[in-house]
Structure 1
């Protein structure tokens, strides 16, 4: 394992920024399912990821090169209707981009917002590492692109232009809320 790092759903060469084929059916069950030979292999096709990312307001101002870097650091997860994606008060450092399906944002048992394809959630906890302010529950079967704190942090540290673009978009979103 020396030159490989284990991510949540894939193995990738350390420092490469690549994501190799993911093992499993897309429903998160934790790292234990990585070793199962009975699971089919699949991967996130980069062209569809690039199309999805470029249509998301958070990434709309990135260059094609920057989008490719983000895509290489993302994985795809699927959720059944009714599944809890994140839990209020929980600690996770991930950003989710909705590719298909819809979700509701729930705080103190009340639905406060909805997320549709092209929307994203989890950006604040991904940045500051604090507990989730709300739960997110899949209304319908969903596919999400998932970006992890460490991968995105490395990207913005290596590319200040990307960091600035993301900050401007996030500032606009905070201002509108």
Structure 2
């Protein structure tokens, strides 16, 4: 299976994958699906069951709850992980603010993806910890 060298280059710049060398990325990427969405497209809808894991390669999304934007996510960010890990419905809508290109891990592949890539899992945990810290700081 051939690997898109331009994609390897783009992904190598994302914080989530910064601990991986080119050979590791070339092994990892064929197991992920590359998906694209147009500006204004709904990527994930609130209430949807386990949409899988999305990792933004290019573009930006809005995370929206009841019409209010909660966050804007850009290249290197990921979403869908909470629903995938907890097997619970999505809690907010995710809408493409710009043309969007993501790496996608289907729902039944998230656990295997994380366990097979502990360096990526560690970076995801760091991001989750930062998100929790920010949420906690906003509440106090």
The TM tier, using the shorter chain, reads 0.7 to 0.9
Q: What are the ranges of 5 or more consecutive residues in structure 1 without an aligned counterpart?
A: 1-17, 21-44
CA deviation profile, 1:144-169 (whole Å, cap 9, x unmatched): 21122333322443465654454344
Q: Give matches, 1:160-175, under 5 Å.
A: 163-164=121-122, 166-175=124-133
Choose which of 94, 110, 122 in structure 2 pairs with 1:136. 94
CA deviation profile, 1:48-69 (whole Å, cap 9, x unmatched): 3333333222333345554334
TM-score normalised according to structure 1 size: 0.62
Distance 1:84 1:148 in 2: 17
Q: CA RMSD in A?
A: 2.7
> Rg: which structure is higher?
1
Superposition deviation, residue 171 in structure 1: 2.9
Seen in structure 2, the aligned counterparts of structure 1 residues 64 and 152 have a Cα distance that, compared at 3 Å, is: farther
Q: 1:73 touches 1:152 (CA, 8 Å); kept in 2?
A: no
Choose which of 88, 104, 111 in structure 2 pairs with 1:146. 104
Distance 1:165 1:141 in 2: 25
Choose which of 50, 61, 66 in structure 1 pairs with 2:19. 61
Count of aligned pairs: 135
SS in 1 for 2:9: helix
Q: What are the ranges of 5 or more consecutive residues in structure 2 without an aligned counterpart?
A: 136-140
Give the structure with the larger helix fraction.
2
Q: Which has the higher contact order (CA 8 A, sep 6+)?
A: 2
